[in-house]
Each structure stands twice: as structure tokens, then as C-alpha cells.
Amino acid sequence: MGNVRRVPTSTIEPPADAEAPRRHPKAPGPGERTREHHSQCRGCADVPGSLRIRSWVEDDGVSVRSRFDVLDEHQGGPGLLHGGLLMTAFDDALGTAHTQVVRAAVTARMETDFRRPVPVGTTLWLRSRVDAVVGRKVYTSGVAYLGELDGEVAGTARALFVKVGAEHFLKHSRPEDLEALGASREVIEAARAAP
Ligand SMILES: CCCCCCCCCCCC(=O)SCCNC(=O)CCNC(=O)[C@H](O)C(C)(C)COP(=O)(O)OP(=O)(O)OC[C@H]1O[C@@H](n2cnc3c(N)ncnc32)[C@H](O)[C@@H]1OP(=O)(O)O
């Protein structure tokens, strides 16, 4: 592997004694559409280049179901969904499930099993849930089905999200994007000056 440095990582398996997740009081209720991550999200916002994934809250108030219409522009192999875009769909759907439970978290690690090729023209349905929250760590898992919910399994994924506060975005996002969300130059500069 030449000079590639291995970064140590911890497991993304939730501890066996972790408590079941509870719905955040400000999250949408069962049957409701979930909110987009933000107005420019290329997973779920209605903007050019987005996968335009739409999600709804399940009856338990915690899990979500998501719809992804696979189009020509999503190809990898001829007429087939690109694997990286299936991962994007999982990242978005699992990242929507976590918003039912915690305010903001970012993907730290994700693993995906690709079980079946996904032809262009297919509607993929995903079921996603938070399995456990332990401190800042949010453990999630999901399944993608071909054509209908609980149909043939196209893939499965697990991801660890880590809770972050506003300072994560104030420090790392482009200032113009933060200003578009209403943050002042002073607030952005103060967050960047902080240790
Ligand atoms: C306004 C719009 C809002 C919108 C907000 C929602 C947006 C969601 C959008 C969809 C999802 C995305 O695209 S998110 C974008 C893609 N993801 C990112 O850009 C994240 C980049 N990575 C980071 O910023 C950082 O590495 C963090 C925040 C993930 C972690 O850094 P940190 O804050 O310093 O915390 P750290 O101490 O390292 O880790 C905390 C705990 O998690 C564990 N941990 C950390 N990383 C890993 C890992 N890869 N694998 C296993 N475990 C890990 C640590 O061992 C530790 O466990 P222990 O010692 O406590 O046991």
C-alpha cells in the first residue's frame, strides 16, 4: 500500500445495552413528509443535480421510508444505477432517519452491501431507522428495495453519525452559504477564531 496511512476506526455496531431511540419532540409525526436537510442538499432538496429523495415518517414516529426514482443521469454501468449513488441515497435516507431523533449529526462511517443491480427506470424504496444513540454517536441502518417496499432487496447499509452543533457548519461551510442561511460575518469569524 506504499505510503497510505491506516486511520484507526472504532466499530459501528451499537452496544447491546443501548437504549431504544425516542422521537425528537420537534420532528414531524407519523405519515408526514420529512424536511430536506437544507435547501441545497443534493440528496433531498428540489434542485438541479439532486437525487430528489423524498421521505415520510413511519407509524413508529422514528423510522422513515424514502423514495428514489432511478433515472438515466444516475447510471454507472449501462442502464444500471451507479453504486456510489446508491450509497448517496443511503446516506441521505439514514441521515433523514437521524433527524427524527437528534437535531444535527454528520456521517462518520458507512458500510453498504450491494445485493442486486438496479436498472434505470426503477423506483427504489428505502427503510431507514436509528438503532441506538450513545452519547454523540448515532447508529443507523437501512434496506433498499426494488420497485416496492419490502420487495426484492437491492442493498443494505449501516452508518454511524456523530452529533454536531452549529459550530461545525460555522467553522467548515463556505461563508456565503452560511450568510444565505442568516449567519452574520461576525458570528462566522468568531466561530473560526475559537480553538
Ligand atoms: C444547517 C444544516 C444542517 C444539516 C445537518 C445534516 C446534514 C446531513 C446530510 C447527509 C449526511 C452527510 O452528507 S454528512 C457529510 C459527510 N460527513 C462529514 O463531512 C463528516 C466529516 N467528519 C467530521 O467532521 C468529524 O470526523 C466528525 C464530526 C464525524 C467527528 O469528529 P469529532 O467531532 O472531533 O469527534 P471524534 O471525537 O473524532 O468522534 C466522536 C466519537 O465518534 C467516533 N468516530 C468518529 N469517526 C468515526 C469513524 N469513522 N468510525 C467509527 N467511529 C468514529 C469516535 O471514535 C468517538 O467515539 P468515542 O471515543 O466517543 O467512543
For residues 183 and 106, membership in a common domain is answered with no
**From the CA of 130, how far away is ligand 1's center (Å)?**
16
Domain-located, residue 194: yes
Under 8 Å CB-to-CB from 35, ≥6 apart: which residues? 28, 99
Domain-located, residue 160: yes
- What is the count of structural domains for the chain? 2
Domain-located, residue 9: no
For residues 78 and 140, membership in a common domain is answered with yes
The whole-chain average pLDDT of the chain stands at 94
Any ligand 1 atom below 6 A from CB of 87: no
Domain-located, residue 148: yes
pLDDT at position 2: 53
Any ligand 1 atom below 6 A from CB of 91: yes
For residues 134 and 182, membership in a common domain is answered with no
**From the CA of 151, how far away is ligand 1's center (Å)?**
32
Distances (CA, A) of 109 to 49, 86, 129, 187: 24, 15, 16, 30
Any ligand 1 atom below 6 A from CB of 135: yes
pLDDT at position 3: 64
**From the CA of 108, how far away is ligand 1's center (Å)?**
4
Residue identifier of the C-alpha nearest atom 55 of ligand 1:
10
Any ligand 1 atom below 6 A from CB of 137: yes
For residues 130 and 154, membership in a common domain is answered with yes
Across the range 148-155, mean pLDDT stands at 96
Domain-located, residue 17: no
In angstroms, the CA 83 to CA 112 distance is 9
Domain-located, residue 48: yes
For residues 74 and 157, membership in a common domain is answered with yes
In angstroms, the CA 60 to CA 30 distance is 7
Across the range 80-85, mean pLDDT stands at 98
For residues 126 and 42, membership in a common domain is answered with yes
For residues 77 and 141, membership in a common domain is answered with yes
For residues 104 and 150, membership in a common domain is answered with yes
For residues 141 and 49, membership in a common domain is answered with yes
pLDDT in tens, 36-73: 999 999 999 999 999 999 999 999 999 999 999 999 99
Q: How large a percentage of the chain has pLDDT more than 90? A: 88
Domain-located, residue 57: yes
For residues 65 and 117, membership in a common domain is answered with yes
Domain range spanning residue 86? Answer: 23-164
Give me 3's grid cell: 505510503
Domain-located, residue 13: no
pLDDT in tens, 168-181: 999 999 999 999 99
